[in-house]
Amino acid sequence: MKIGMFDSGVGGLTVLKSVRDAFDKVDIVYLGDTARVPYGIKSRETIINYAKESANFLISQNVDIILIACNSVSANAMDVLQETFDIPIVGVIEAGVEAALKSSKTKHVGIIGTTATINSNKYQERLEAFNIKTYGKACPLFVPIVEEKLINTDISKKTVEFYLKEFKDLKDIDTIILGCTHYPLLEQDIKEFLPHINLVSSSDAIVSYIKDIIKNEGNATTELYFTDISENTSKLVEYIMGKKYDLKYINVETLSLNC
Ligand code: DGL
């Protein structure tokens, strides 16, 4: 089976890592749109257009299924992608919601993510359908902090406090969804600040969500395409995946032209 995965950049590698570890035989093609990252501060229309181009590229690589690793895309473009393309397309929102429903005893759940994810209300709507009280909070500075590898520093700790201090007073919340590809890498900082809260990450949740639809068969290849490959891209790939990969370049104009 060949799985296509895409994200706005390198953050989706947290999802790729979970999927690669869980399904060791499948073939995976990953596309990170590093030339146009971040998506989380862009409009829904732009996110939809970029997402269609990425999905189209993966389909040209003969994938059997597409996993949207990016929360901002899953929240804003999933419905349009499912209507546009006729292969199975799975996002991270449902997986995160499923994990939060299992985790929360109090039925009060926080969601943190990019501005595009939080403003879409997708996580909130899905959870509220199960009578969960939700609190969404956009934390836009978390993405550059991770990309600058400032995890577990004074800067990350101060920023966690800045965005998440209101969760200290929201005593009923027992679970927070890390609704952004980058946030699992800040788990330790967040856990230190909110030790009583269970953190649920969509990158882990996706594995149990897709286990019944993925056939763990294939040649175990992992191809990584990026629309921009800088020194930082290679470093972040190694940092997140824990090993070096040969990175393949795909020009963003080629993505647009073929769509
Ligand atoms: N991958 C994005 C997400 O999960 C975070 C980075 C961005 O803003 O593009 O929402």
pLDDT tens per residue, range 145-196: 999 999 999 999 999 999 999 999 999 999 999 999 999 999 999 999 999 9
| C-alpha span between 53 and 76 (Å, rounded) | 15
76 CA distance to ligand 1 middle (Å): 12
Helices (H), 61-114: 71-84, 93-103
Q: Is the CB of 72 under 6 A from ligand 1?
A: yes
**Protein residue closest via CA to atom 6 of ligand 1:** 38
Helix (H) or strand (E) holding 30: strand 27-32
> pLDDT tens for residues 39-98?
999 999 999 999 999 999 999 999 999 999 999 999 999 999 999 999 999 999 999 999
Degrees, nearest 5: CA angle 65-92-161? 155
Confidence (pLDDT) at 67:
98
Cα–Cα distance between 183 and 130 in angstroms, integer? 25
Peptide bond just before 144 cis, omega within 30 deg: no
Q: Is CATH 3.40.50.1860 the right assignment for the domain spanning 2-91+206-258?
A: yes
Interval between CA 151 and ligand 1 midpoint (Å): 17
Give me the catalytic one of 58, 67, 70, 210. 70
Atom from ligand 1 closest to the CA of residue 42: 8
Q: Is 180 a catalytic residue?
A: yes
Query: Ligand 1: does its nearest atom lie under 6 Å from the Cβ of 122?
Result: no
Give the count of beta carbons closer than 10 Å to the beta carbon of residue 195. Answer: 7
Phi, psi of 198 (to 5 degrees): -85, 125
Burial of 135 (0-12, 13-18, 19+ CB in 10 A): middle
Domain boundaries defined on the chain = 2-91+206-258, 93-202
38 pocket-lining for ligand 1 (C-beta < 6 Å): yes
The domain 93-202 is placed in CATH, from the list 3.40.50.1860, 1.20.1250.20, 1.10.540.10, 3.30.300.30, at 3.40.50.1860
- Closest ligand 1 atom number to CA of residue 182: 5
Task: Find the helix packing angle between 202-210 and 13-22, rounded to 10°.
Answer: 40
Collapsed DSSP state (helix, strand, coil) of residue 196: coil
Question: Looking at 16, 160, 176, 180, which residue is catalytic?
Answer: 180
Q: Is the CB of 182 under 6 A from ligand 1?
A: yes
Q: DSSP labels for 38-62?
A: --TTS-HHHHHHHHHHHHHHHHHTT
**Element (DSSP H or E) covering residue 112:** strand 108-113
Q: Is the CB of 74 under 6 A from ligand 1?
A: no
User: Per-residue pLDDT tens for 17-55?
Assistant: 999 999 999 999 999 999 999 999 999 999 999 999 999
DSSP reduced 3-state for 69: coil
**Closest residue to atom 7 of ligand 1, CA basis:** 38
| Ligand 1 centroid – CA 84 distance (Å) | 22
Calpha distance 46→38 (Å, rounded): 11
Nearest-atom number in ligand 1 for the CA of 8 is 9
Check pLDDT > 90 for residue 204.
Answer: no
Structure tokens at 233: 């891209």
Q: Is the model's pTM score more than 0.75?
A: yes
139 is catalytic: no
